[in-house]
Amino acid sequence: MRRPFSSVRARAALAATLVVAVALVAAGATVLLSLRDNLTDQAGGAADSTARRVATSLATGTAPDALDLDDEDPVQVLDEDNRVLATSEDLEKISGTGVSEVKPGAARPDDDGDDDGGDDSRQNGSVSGHTDYTDGSATIDGDSGDYRFAEVEVEDTAYGDLTVHAGGSLEAEQSAVNTALTSMLIGFPVLLVIVGGVTYLVTRRALRPVEGIRAEMAAITASQDLGRRVPEPDTHDEVARLAGTTNETLAALEASVERQRRFVADASHELRSPIASLRTQLEVGAAHPELLDVDGAVEDTVRLQELAADLLLLARLDAGEKPGGAGVDLAALVREELSQRTGDRVPVTVDVSAVPQVSGSRGQLARVLGNLVDNAQRHARAGVRVAVRAEDGRVVLRVADDGQGVPEGERERIFERFVRLDDARTRDGGGAGLGLAIARDVAERHGGSLTVCSAPEGGALFELALPAG
């Protein structure tokens, strides 16, 4: 059973929804805070305006009980002892100003002044330029609400220092914030559903080619038909590149399997002849000992042994066997190996100089040298030349013969396994066609190369180049 959000498109839709949700919550909180602060400031501004209007009246000599306080917003005038001198009409309850009394007492002027203003110099007071704000509530004519209160001081009036509290209603702020919050609570989930749905659909459309690639790969695995290819969308994006790489991998795998199949078939064919010949000789020898061809049996046995050794080495190379990192003196290896060859058909000329060591397997490099010299011996007319030189940071081994050479169009084909260019020669004389294939594989495993061109003598010149050091 598939787990929830096990698909890429489901996870992408969830991730996009979560990201948008976080962004919307942050943006919504910012908008609500900004809206509330702005409307609260407006209420505070209205309260400050009312408070200063009342304070100005008091400062110019208006008695507290003569003030025009029939506004809808609450106003409270206090003296130095926090006694209520005046309040708004119909004010029934107030909090947030520090004094909860709503019934004004008798206003009494200071001893050195009188209540009619007269000529007392203290009748004209001064209004403080500073305003303090508090939050509270009030009930006017039965209607309760929250208010932002502004506190303004009036100094040196006929009634001493007075404090005016005036409130600005917060109803607009609360209504606007509640409306915005309700809209967000309704709109945000709808928007998130839309974002998630659109992301899911877009992702599904974008990943549809991937599903096609997966289905085709599953079909290829089930049918084992490596000739099939996955569809490549014409989008020039990552999915298209994935499809192209997948097809390249399938092509390489098909070529490898085909090469392996051909190799097994060719190896079976090559083994069949010497085995059949050896069996025939042994059966004849068993029935007629005097007719046993011992030399022929030994020759077939040797050929079988050499072919088995070649096949084993190729199998190890195909398995990725590392050549090792030992230092090999290629010049000394050439002298030693060629000094042991006593049965060559034509003489071998050796021209080597001191060269840096190469890194790799001495046994595998000796096999390359032997295969190249054997190939030259089969095609040479009068002689074979072997040279070793150091050139441009590389150690180069050259094996040349004076035979007919290799046609230019066949110079890559001869390195394929079981390939012989001379179809007329016998198998015994020509070998199994694995020597040059082994030599190139070993060269490439050592980080080098093996190529063929025309020799100055007119035959073939094989050049093995290996990195020095």
pLDDT at 377: 92
pLDDT at 112: 53
Q: Among 177, 94, 194, which residue's Cα sits nearest to residue 137?
A: 94
Q: Is residue 166 helix, strand or coil? A: strand
Q: Is the C-alpha dihedral spanning 359, 364, 366, 371 positive or negative?
A: negative
H-helix or E-strand spanning residue 350:
strand 348-352
In the structure, what pLDDT confidence band is assigned to residue 308 with cuts at 50, 70 and 90?
Answer: confident
- Residue extents of the structural domains in the chain: 13-175, 238-318, 326-467
Which range is least confidently modeled, 23-27, 298-302, 433-437, 448-452?
Answer: 298-302
- Residues 212-224: b if buried by 16+ CB within 10 A, e if exposed: bbeebeeebeeee
Phi, psi (5° rounding) for residue 37?
-65, -40
Model confidence over 1-18: pLDDT tens digits? 455 556 777 888 888 899
Asked if the 238-318 domain carries CATH number 1.10.287.130, the reply is yes
In this structure, of 6-10, 55-59, 181-185, 463-467, the range with the lowest mean pLDDT score is: 6-10
Per-state percent for the chain, helix, strand, coil, to nearest 5: 50, 20, 30
Kindly give, in sequence order, each residue whose CB lies less than 8 Å from that of residue 248, ignoring residues fewer than 6 positions away. none
pLDDT of residue 74: 93
CATH 3.40.50 fits 13-175, yes or no: no
Give residue 431's pLDDT band: very low, low, confident or very high (50, 70, 90). Answer: low
The candidate with the shortest Cα–Cα distance to 154, out of 146, 163, 166, is 163
Looking at per-residue confidence, does 430 or 202 come out higher?
202
Phi, psi for 74 (deg, rounded to 5): -75, 140
Predicted confidence band of residue 337 (pLDDT cuts 50, 70, 90):
very high
pLDDT of residue 312: 82
Could you tell me which CATH class the domain 326-467 is placed in?
A: alpha beta
Mean pLDDT of all residues in the chain? 85
Q: Nearest CA to 397 among 332, 301, 321, 315?
A: 332
**How many CB atoms sit inside 10 A of residue 439's CB?**
24
Task: Specify whether the CB–CB gap between 165 and 87 falls below 8 A.
Answer: no
d(CA 154, CA 57) in angstroms, rounded, equals 10
pLDDT value of residue 232: 85
pLDDT value of position 121:
45
Question: Which tens digits make up the pLDDT trace of 241-251?
Answer: 888 899 999 89
Q: What is the CA radius of gyration of the chain?
A: 52
Q: How confident is the model at residue 200 (pLDDT cuts 50, 70, 90)?
A: confident
What does the alpha-carbon distance between residue 148 and residue 167 come to, in Å, rounded to a whole number? 5
* Residue 27, pLDDT above cutoff 60: yes
Q: What is the mean pLDDT of residues 39-56?
A: 92
pLDDT of residue 408 exceeding 70, the answer is: yes
The pLDDT score that the predictor gives to residue 434 is 83
Burial class (CB in 10 A: 0-12, 13-18, 19+), 350: middle
pTM, full prediction: 0.51
Question: Coil, strand or helix: which one is 233?
Answer: coil
In order, the DSSP letters of 359-373 are: EE-HHHHHHHHHHHH
Query: For residue 384, is pLDDT > 60?
Result: yes
* 3-class SS of residue 459: coil
Given a cut of 70, whether residue 345 has pLDDT beyond it is: yes
Q: pLDDT value at position 269?
A: 72
Quick check: 177 and 30 in contact, CB under 8 A?
no
CB 163 within 8 A of CB 151: yes
What does the pLDDT average to over 334-359? 90
With a pLDDT cut of 90, the percent of the chain lying above it is 37
Dist CA 447 CA 360 (whole Å): 9
Residue with the two structure tokens 């005016």: 164
The string of pLDDT tens digits covering residues 57-96 is: 998 988 888 888 876 889 999 998 899 999 988 888 999 9
Average pLDDT over residues 387-415: 91
Joined tokens for residue 286: 């068993």
**Residue 265 confidence (pLDDT) above 80:** no
